Structures are given as C-alpha cells and as structure tokens.
Structure 1
Amino acid sequence: MGHAERKHSILSPSGAHRWLYCTPSALLEQQFPDTGSEAAMEGTLAHELAEMKLRNYVNTVDFGKTKFTRAVNKLKKDPLWKDEMLGHTEDYLDYVKNLALSAPSLPTVIIEKRVDLSAWIPSLPDTDPASGTADCILIGNGQLHVIDFKYGKGVEVSAEGNPQLSLYALGAYETYKFLYRIERIHLHIVQPRINNFSSWDCSLEELLEFGKYVQKKAELAIKGEGDFRPGENTCRFCRAKGRCRARADRNVELAFAVGKKPPLITNAEMGEYLEKGADVEKWLSDLKELALKECLAGKDVPGWKAVEGRGTRSWTDQDKAFEVVKDAGIDETMLYVKSPLSLAKVEELMGKKAFAASVGDYVIKSPGKPTLVKTSDKREAITNKVTAKEVFKEETNNE
C-alpha cells in the first residue's frame, strides 16, 4: 500500500503530541476535512523513495537493482519530484546502516511495519483498531530501535520523549516481545533537510509507564472529554484551529486583556508574555485565512470582504518578445543576468558528501544573527558582554 493511501486512526500516533495534551481536540477536528498540503505530498514522495532505498539495501534478492531503478524512475514522473530527494534519502539510509552495523551483532531490520496499538488506544465502533506505521525498526541485542524519517524543514522535531515514536515502540514491543529479548528502547529522528539527527533512549519500564499514561488520555480523547489546552505546538496542525473557541478565547485574553499595572514591564513579565503569547500571531493568521475562505464562498464575515490583490505580469512568449526588444536596439547582453547558484543549491546538486569532499575547503561558516529561543533549545547561550580578558587586551593595545 502506498504512503498516501494509508488509513489514519482518529487517535493516530502522528497526532499524539496534540490529543495526549488537548484530549477533546481529536473528535473536534473530525468535523473538518484533512485537505493536506503540497509539502505533505512532497514528504510522502520522499518517504516512498526512502523506503525503496532501504528495501534495496536490506533485501536485494526480492528488490534488486532492476526493480529499484524502475520504481525510482516511476517516482521521478511525479510533478513534485526533486533531485535533491536522492541526497536526503541517502542520509536516511546511511543513518540506518550505521546503526545496524555498529551493533554487536546485526539486528533484524523491519521496514514500514504497521503496528497494532489497540492495547493502549481505544477506537470508536465500526472503525479500524488504532495502529501506526513505523518507518524502520531494528531489533537485536536486547535493544529496540525506532527510526522515523522526517522530510519537512519547517519545524525541527526532537526524538526526546517523542510521543509518536514512543507509540510505535509500544506497538513494536507488543508485536515482537515473544520473539526477542527487549530491554532498552531507542528513538531516532532523521530530518536531513535541516541537518537534524536526533536520538533518545529509555528503559522498557519507562516505555510501559508511558503506555499507562496513554491509556488514560486516550480514554478521554476518544469520548471528546477532558480540557482544551490550546498552544503554539498543540494547535499547529489541528484541523479545528481556525474555529476552536478555546484557542480564540485564550488568545483574545492574552492579546487584549488590560489592567492597572506599572508603566514598564519587568524581564520576568517579558519572558512570561513571550511564552504565553507565542500562538497569538499564528492564531490571527489562521483566522484571516479562514475568514478569506468564508468570504470567497459568499458567506458574510462582518467588517471584512475579499478583494483581488495586486496582479503580476508575465510574457506569453518570452523568446519572441526579446526578439522584438533586440530589434528595437537593445543589446542582448542587457536582457540576461548571469548569477551563480547559492552554496546551498550547489550542495543539493552534488550531495553533501561529494560537496564536502570536493569544495568543502572553500567554505567558511560565519556566525548567525542572534535570535531569541526558549531555554530548552540545545544551542549555547550568547551575550554581548565583553570579558575581562578582552577589556585588558584592548587597554594594552591603546597604551
């Protein structure tokens, strides 16, 4: 079955970060269609390529070079195909290979395994049992590895305590516990487009404790019960995010609530407002998008209307137009701009390994512009403070 045709449970592992935290959201968003996006379809295509590469490596007898080449050529006919997918999926393959080859003895490799989650997640009557598909599972030497390939580049995904991968691990444990000794769980995120390779591990006992937590939350979620807990991460991919009253009320309160307070805010208040208000701007953007759709559908949104934006111009036949321009006396060299590809584009063209080997010595990385992030970010904090050593050095130079 292709990646795009797979069924998703109401309480799906991919949405676990949302329904485990905001339990009523799972049923609420069922009222809205899953329209998908071009980025999601592009990710599906890249996942299919990643699966083919892994199958070709693990099982060359059934999926050898000829079958693999034909399958890839078929993928290349998709309008969303980009050659850079070849390099990014190679990074995924290398990651899995290195994991397998670094084990004391070669583990069993299981590709695109659909695991049953009904022991932890209930389902509605007349619906399929809860399940999810793990990109790759490695089992051996008392270790269970779950590797997830992420093609998106908008949001960095961490493996630490990742609920989606933890659910896959629970399903894999339940499926294979009678065949393999499993003592420790390892979760891995491979997100090559932003160079994010994240891993995290826990004991089997900790995973099973998480399973008990899931059971309690899932029982609420499948009934649409519990408390709404809107937030930047919770609402990001929720289909009800534009209409959700809990999210609207929370952001209105944060954005417009006033009261008698000192004229200047403290640093502590600044941090609190940044934390609480992270979703306000995104909520307003989602609200505008929804209002535009309603207006275009002929529905009334008091105080707002849809109008035609600024148009763009384009040639019907650029070559013929340029011939006319040249006949008018304009030199051909004036009509074209020669510009080199960006460093990132050249790297995409060559692939990371070939790029580093051939022109890596000609690349220098300059420090990035300071940016504000949460303290949970793993990067080291920077300040504009000058050290005593630098001050004394400057004074010595000025003497």
Structure 2
Amino acid sequence: MGMHCLLSASSAHRWIHCNKSARLEENFENSTSVFAEEGTYMHELGELRLGRYIGAVKESNYKKKLKAVQLNQFFNSEIEESVEVYVAFAIELIEATRKSCKDPIILLEQRLDFSKYVKSGFGTGDLVIVADGTLEIVDLKGGAGVSVSAECNPQMQLYALGALILFDCLYDIKAVRMSICQPRLNNISTYELSAEELLAWAEDVLKPAAQLAWDGEGEFEPSEYTCKFCRAKATCRARAEKNLEMARFEFRQASLLTKDEITEVLSQADDIAKWCRDIWAWAEAMAIDGEDFEGFKVVSGRSNRAYGDEKSVIKKLTEAGYSDDEIYARNLKGITALEKVLGKKVFSEVLAGLITKPPGKYTMVSDSDKRQAVILNNTAEAEFKEEI
C-alpha cells in the first residue's frame, strides 16, 4: 500500500486541524494492527477481482494469484462477500463511465502525488476513473466500527487533488466525484464538487495548514476526531490540559451543578473517558516493559482452564465410552449466522413471525449521532431551575 509519509492523506483531518500533531507523532512508533493488515488484504483481493474485469490481469495469472490470495489467513466468506460488494459498485461506475466516454482511463491502486500542495504528500487511489468532464475516486474501507462519510472528507479530496493534477492536462475535468464503499456497514457515501472548488480548497485551506504541520507550527486542537488515531494521544499535554479543565467543577455531584455546567461536562465526558483509557493502556504497556509507576504494579490476571488439544480430548473421551451427547453441546445458531446459512429469503419465509426486535434501552448521545431522537413525554426541566 506504499510507504508512510509525514502528512499522509489518511491522517489529513488530524494535521489540517491539529497542525502540531504531525511532528509530535514522530516521537512514537508507527505500528500496524490486525485490522490494518486485514484492510490491506481486502484491497489486494479487490484489486485482483477488478484487474481481471478490466483486463489488467490475464485469466491464467488470475487463477494462480487467486489461489495464493485464498491461502491468506484473512480469507473467509465474510471478507469475500464484503469485497464483492465493492467490486460490484466499482463495475457499475466503470460501465456508466464507458457509456458516456469512449476512452476513459481506469486505474487500480494508483499512486497519487499531491506534493504541489503538501510537501512530500502522496496517497493511493483504490479506483480512479478519468473521463471527459468527470473524475471518479473510489476508496474501499474495510472497517466495521465507525461509518465514514465522503462529504468534505479531506483524505478523499487529497486523492482527488492528486488525480486532478495528474490528468487535468489530458481531460477537461469539471466535476470531481468521490465515493467511499464500506461494505461491512452497508455504507456507500458519495460526495461531488467542482474541480474549481477542489483547487480553491487546496490553495486556501490545505496548503497553509500543510505548511504549518510540516514546520511543526500552528496549533494543537485536541478533539474526539483529531485524537482518535493519533499516536501521541495518551501523553499529549494539549489533550491533558483540555480534559483537566473539567477539574474546576471539583467533581461535585451532578445534582449540585447547574444545567449549563452539566451540558459542558457532557460535551467533554466521552473524550475525558477515552483519554483516561488511553493513558491507562499506555502506562500499562510501559509497566509490562519494566517502567515503574509509584503506587502501581503488574500482576497476572485471572485465567480460565482450556483444552490443550481438543482432538486428543475427544479421542480420549470416545475411547472411554462417552457418547457424542455427553461430549458435545448443541446450541441454536445466532440470528445473523443462521441467516447466512439459510439465505435472507428462505430465512424470512421459514421464520416469519418468529423473529422479534425489542426496542433498545434508552441512552443519551450527542447531537452528532445519526440516530433519530426518541420523543419522551416526561421532562426533568424543573430539576435544573436555579434559585433566583
């Protein structure tokens, strides 16, 4: 997927808003994760499938490469189905473009250089379609945690900018369309803006922010979004100072705070909780490596008994005369797993009226949450009235 750069497209939201975080992160190892490796694998499989479709991979080579890919530890039916959703979406875009343009350029995993605006800046476009009038950029997201929107997404806009710089001299590009395909969350998000608007953003917003970030200047702007994947989030002083501002309430009981004070605490409570968890995780890792924190120690956690070799256990029990009913437990599969076995249509027909979905427990979230608010009949407004 390419080498890492200081001002990467994937971290653009962070260094555009929290300029100083880019240089601060250099003090921390840029480690990978199982989720990142799984995402890389999904991109490889998607590239292979689409490469075959557009003729970039010959059939004989495709079969060999597919066999190798299927031996990967991440290959399973769920991953394959997710990639197929992306491939189907990509093919739909390709065919629509071919109808309107005789000779579109179709590129897979294309390196896109936007160093004209961001020093040493580059990224990789999963799918780039260039035609007269329109530039299409598609990004596959393998995550199943948080839904990602293409609207005003700086990572997508950087990819589009790199493609525009590369192909604008060959095609008269007026519109730029960016799509994020996130199969595991049934999320396909598309955002369009004019080439003129994209270039204005690059000149007025991107370029000055990138220069500040490169120089290690500008501001720290800790927030839920800038801190989430920042390598320095556990020990960042700016984040600590922001969260410790809440200490002025001296941890008074909620009933002793005004409604405005409660609202202020609520607006930062989630960030404070995450910050505390990040610090704990960082300190725990350091302690396990030998660092000493006064008042804390490393202990062995509770463990559960486990079979060393299940096949040997089954063999021994069978030889001892125990029946399958005594050895094995039979449980009804979960709804999602059973639906996969039967197929959605058969599942709906056979189990019609037997599947229920009770209302979820009420919970309070911020206004940024996309779920519909519940209309309640009661109100606690009077509880927060201040004495005059």
Using structure 2 for the length normalisation, give the TM-score: 0.87
In 2, the alpha carbon distance for the partners of 1:287 and 1:260 equals: 23
Return the offset for 1:329: 7.8
Deviates more, 1:375-384 or 1:251-260: 251-260
Deviates more, 1:269-278 or 1:155-164: 269-278
In 1, the alpha carbon distance for the partners of 2:165 and 2:313 equals: 67
Which position in structure 1 is the counterpart of 2:16? Answer: 20
Structure 1 regions of 5+ residues with no counterpart?
Answer: 123-128, 387-399
Q: What's the % identity of the aligned pairs?
A: 35
In 1, the alpha carbon distance for the partners of 2:232 and 2:348 equals: 46
Q: CA RMSD in A?
A: 2.6
Is 1:219 matched with 2:216? no
In 1, the alpha carbon distance for the partners of 2:247 and 2:329 equals: 47
8 A Cα contact 1:8 1:132, kept in partner: no
Q: 1:71 to 1:385 in 2, by over 3 A?
A: farther
Structure 2 regions of 5+ residues with no counterpart?
Answer: 379-388
8 A Cα contact 2:339 2:347, kept in partner: no
Per-residue CA distance 1:30-77 (angstroms, 9 max, x = gap): 111111111111111111101111111112xx4133322221221222
Which position in structure 1 is the counterpart of 2:382? Answer: none
In 2, the alpha carbon distance for the partners of 1:141 and 1:202 equals: 15
Which position in structure 2 is the counterpart of 1:304? Answer: 296
Q: 1:321 to 1:54 in 2, by over 3 A?
A: closer
Q: 1:349 to 1:110 in 2, by over 3 A?
A: farther
Matching of residues 1-399 of structure 1 within 5 Å: 3=1, 6-59=2-55, 62-103=56-97, 104-106=99-101, 107-122=104-119, 129-212=120-203, 213-254=205-246, 257-258=249-250, 263-265=255-257, 269-322=261-314, 331-346=323-338, 355-361=343-349, 362=351, 366=357, 369=360, 370-385=362-377
SS of the residue 1:85 aligns to: helix
In 2, the alpha carbon distance for the partners of 1:205 and 1:189 equals: 22
Q: 1:70 to 1:278 in 2, by over 3 A?
A: same
8 A Cα contact 2:149 2:189, kept in partner: yes
Using structure 1 for the length normalisation, give the TM-score: 0.84
Per-residue CA distance 1:247-279 (angstroms, 9 max, x = gap): 122222236643999945465544433322321
Per-residue CA distance 1:171-195 (angstroms, 9 max, x = gap): 1111100111111111111010111
Q: 1:382 to 1:116 in 2, by over 3 A?
A: same
8 A Cα contact 1:23 1:228, kept in partner: yes
Q: 1:71 to 1:222 in 2, by over 3 A?
A: same
Count of matched residue pairs? 370
SS of the residue 1:20 aligns to: helix
In 1, the alpha carbon distance for the partners of 2:193 and 2:83 equals: 27
Return the letter of the residue paired with 2:49.
K
